[in-house]
Structures are given as C-alpha cells and as structure tokens.
Structure 1
Amino acid sequence: MSTAAVAAASGYSAQQVRDLEALGVLPAAKRARNGYRRFSAAHLRALRAYRDLAHAVGPVDARHAMREIRLRPPRQGTALICGFHARLNDEREQALAARLALESIRAEAATDAAPGEADSMTITELSQALGVKASTLRFWEKSGLVAPDRVTTRAGTARRYPLTAIREARITAALRASGYRIPDVQKAVTAIRDLHDVSHSLAALDTRLEAISQRALALLRAGTQLAEIITSAPAPGLSRRFSARAASAR
C-alpha cells in the first residue's frame, strides 16, 4: 500500500503516518525503486493498535510500548501490556474508593458525630468530634491521610486542623469504620485531593469512572492487534543483530 492508501484505511493523514513511522510506532516501511514508501497489512495493524492504545494510556506511553513490543521477547511484550490493564484497574479502584468516601462523609455529616463548622480544630476537639483517640489522628497524619497545620504556642508547637484536614479526617474515619485498610484509605484520600471542585466531586468521579471505562474498552480493542504484533515480532537475537548493523551503518 502507498502512504495515501494506508492513511485512508487507518484514518490518519499521510503526514501522521510518516511521523509515526519516524517515531518508531510503525516498523520501517520498504521503499520502492522510486523511493516511495510501501506499507503492508502489518503497518495498518500497528496504526489501528496505536490509535486505541493512545486513547487508553496516552500517546507517550503508547509510542514507547509500540516500539518495545517489537524488540522484546513475547513474554516481556505481553507483560508490558498487562501492566497497562493493571494501571487502569488501579485508577478505577482509587476512583471507586473516593466515591465511597464522599458517600460515607455525606452520611456521616448527618449524624451527631460530625464536627462543627469551625474554621479549625485542635487535636483534642477533633478526636472528640470523631470519637477517635488523639494517637489515632497522629497515626493518620504519619500515614499521610491527614495534614494538620502546626501553630506556635507558649508551650511550643501544636497541631491545628483546618477545614481541609477536618474533612480528610472525617473521610478517613468513615472508611476505617467501614472496614477499609489504610492503603485503601490512602487511595481514596489521594483521589479526593485531586478533585479541586469539591462541590461537584461526585459528578467529577462519575465522569472519571466513565472515562476509565472507555479507556479500558480501547485497551481491549487494541489487544487483538497487539497480540499479533507481539507474536510476529522477530526473535530477540535478530532484533539485537539488526540494531547492531543499524548502529554500525550510522
């Protein structure tokens, strides 16, 4: 196929096809006697795989993966793609944990145990409001779940919990009461911190979960194409000899 033909079949422009070849996303095309590129079905397969892979994991990681799976042994290429699935699953679990945290804090806010609307609280006030020990709050701080301010007093320094820290403590308390382990709570708090517009947190998380679902589907669509690329890649020894010849030619 000519550059124009493979571009029409893949949905990319002719210049994009040439750029992706230069970036190593595509294997080098053969050249006709007149110097024009000649592409094959393998190039079209790679373009289709790259489109979905870029949607799933981003263009930078997708370009790296398309280059690597042609150079690595099949088991390593497979592991690379499996890592993308695992990463997407981690993102999904974090978003789900954050959503549960927000639902929990909404329910907890309606109870008598919810802290008041003060601008800040001492560690004693917050521990009493949440029904946990002060040592528990210090442990949560050490685990990165709550970040109190430090204020200077006559006796030295003391913890002061602003509204953000109170909110994180409430989320942590709600999730721990629901049986979540510290690593799971850390995921939830991290996700909550990434949501800058708290008033629309649940909607933002639902949007994020839908986006993750669409990316996961794109990764699944790419799977068949990537499997063919991985299994048809040259043996590692051949790849190394080819790389060595190319280096000596330069």
Structure 2
Amino acid sequence: MFMWGSMIDATAGGAPRAPLRTSDVAHATGYSVQQVRDLERLGVIPPATRSPNGYRSYAPIHVHALGAYRGIAAAIGAVAARRLLTELREQTVTEAAAAVTSIHAGLARERDEALRAQAALHAIQAEGSFPDGEAADDAMTITELAAALGVRASTLRFWEQEGLVTPDRVTSLRARRYGLAAIRQARIVAALRSSGYGIPAVSGVMSSLDGLGGVAEAERMLQHRLDQIGGRSVALLRASADLAAVVSAPAG
C-alpha cells in the first residue's frame, strides 16, 4: 500500500516541510524515480522547481497528481489519463469537475451496454435449443433481421464474411434467409459487439458454439467485462481525493 496520505499530511498543523526529493515522491506513490521524471516530462505532473545545484524539488501537489493519474489510468487508460491530467491543470474547477464527471458517465454507459447484452444472452438461454425443423414463417430476411437487431444490413453481411453468422441462400437471386439458428447466432454476435468485444474475441465464442455452450461462454465474457468495469470505477473513486487536490490547486 502506498503512503500518499502520510507524505502529504506531514505538512498539517506545523511548519512547512522541506521540499520533496524525486525519491520521496517515488516512495510515496509507488512509481520509480525514472517514472516520476518521465511523467513530469509528459506533463502528468507540474514541472518541479530546480534548486541552484539543479536538483528537482517537489511538493505535495505532485504526489496528489500521481495518485490521480494512477486512478484515471486504471479507469480510461494511460494515454487518455496523461492527456486529461495535462488539460486539468489549465481548466477552471468547474471545467475540471465536468471532465471527471464525464469519465464516470462513460463507465456507466459501458456498464449499461454490458448489462443489456447480458440480458439478451439470458433470454437466448431461456429459449433453449432450436428444433431441427424450422417453419418458413420463422425465417427472416436480412432487412428484417437488421431492423430487429438495430444494426445495418451491411453489418450482417460483414459478420457473414467473418464467419460469425451463417444464413441460408434461397431464390434465384441468392438472397439471404436467416433461420432460427442463424438468428440466434446473430443475436449472440450483436450482444457481444454492443458490449465492445472485437471480432477475434467474438469469433472465438462462435467457433465453439455447440448447443448453448457458446452462450455460456459469451455470458462468462460479459461477466468478466462487468467485473473489469467495476474495478475501473473503484480505481476512479479511490483517486477522488487526489483529483480534488489537483483541480483545486492554485494556477501556476
């Protein structure tokens, strides 16, 4: 566990403490000395002051900034976190608060998408296996299926090209006909894609589809995604105090 609080609270209720050395900041945050220097160079933390002999001198705000960076990086990725921390120092408190709120909102959207996909998979599981014989009335055209799934017809053609969905071909024009098995395939693909899974991951599920086994694997993937989103949200919450210190710090 990192000692962010102890390094910062040492200034409370007494004379100002001596400036922090690079090694002090590294020890307080769990980063290496080189990482502290690199993150300063990248603009994640404000530039350190320099003593006459050229040594860096840091302050508690640098420890706060690195604590905030750790949480934001866990939530949205290192590249986006570096950009955000650089921008926050140039913004008003209101603008900075809005930027942080947007991260929480983005995580909430991802969670909602995963939950909707999970609900769709539950519905597919509840339906059970499809019979070998399918009535003509149960089939759908590509336009009908695209509308039902809320995707473009071109998306269904792409999924077919990638081997994710296998429709029947009927009529002299070779028009696509989606029977119940193909409809189920498309629903599983749509559920996973809507939750952010790439084609390779979805392909892995579909290639192992056997009865309801593929649905169970898709369910496992979505639960894993929900767990990841939860972890990212907790990391952002843990960074809240450090973020508040960063956005409230006087300019300059």
TM-score (norm 1): 0.72
Size of the aligned set, in residue pairs, is 211
Deviation at 1:139, TM superposition (A): 2.7
Q: Partners in 1 of 2:105 and 2:23 — Cα distance?
A: 37
Distance change (3 Å), C-alpha of 1:134 and 1:4: closer
Query: Alpha carbons of 1:217 and 1:142: their partners in 2 closer, same or farther (altered >3 Å)?
Result: closer
Residues 105 and 220 (structure 1), Cα distance of their counterparts in 2 relative to 1, 3 Å cut: same
Q: Give CA-to-partner distance per residue, 1:76-130, whole Å, 9 cap, x none.
A: 21111111111111111111111111111011125xxx4648xxx9xx83xx227
Structural mapping, 1:119-138, within 5 Å: 125=136, 128-129=137-138, 136-137=144-145
Residue 223 (structure 1) aligns with: 240
Read off the aligned partner of 1:137 and give its amino acid letter.
L
1:140 aligns with 2:148: yes
| CA-CA distance at 1:205 after TM superposition | 1.3
Q: Deviations over 1:16-67 (max 9, x none)?
A: 0000000000000000111010000000111111111111111011101100
Query: Whose helix proportion is higher, 1 or 2?
Result: 1
- The answer on whether the counterparts of 1:48 and 1:225 sit within 8 Å (CA) in structure 2 is yes
Q: Which residue of 2 aligns with 1:99?
A: 118
1:1-250 maps to which residues of 2 (within 5 A)? 1-110=20-129, 114=130, 116=132, 125=136, 128-129=137-138, 136-137=144-145, 139-140=147-148, 143-144=151-152, 147=156, 155-161=172-178, 165-168=182-185, 190-191=194-195, 194=198, 195-196=201-202, 197-198=204-205, 199=214, 200-234=217-251
Shift of 1:168: 4.7
Shift of 1:169: 5.0
Equivalent residue of 2:195, what SS?
Answer: helix
Matched residue of 1:71: which SS? coil
Alignment gaps of 5+ in structure 1: 173-185, 240-250
CA distance in structure 2 between the partners assigned to 1:208 and 1:74 by the alignment? 32
Change in CA separation of 1:88 and 1:82 when aligned onto 2, cut-off 3 Å: same
Q: Which runs of 5+ in 2 are unaligned?
A: 1-19, 161-166, 206-213
SS of equivalent residue, structure 1 residue 143? coil
Q: Aligned-pair RMSD on alpha carbons?
A: 3.3
SS at match of 1:159: strand
Distance verdict in 2 for CA 1:22–1:115, change over 3 Å: farther
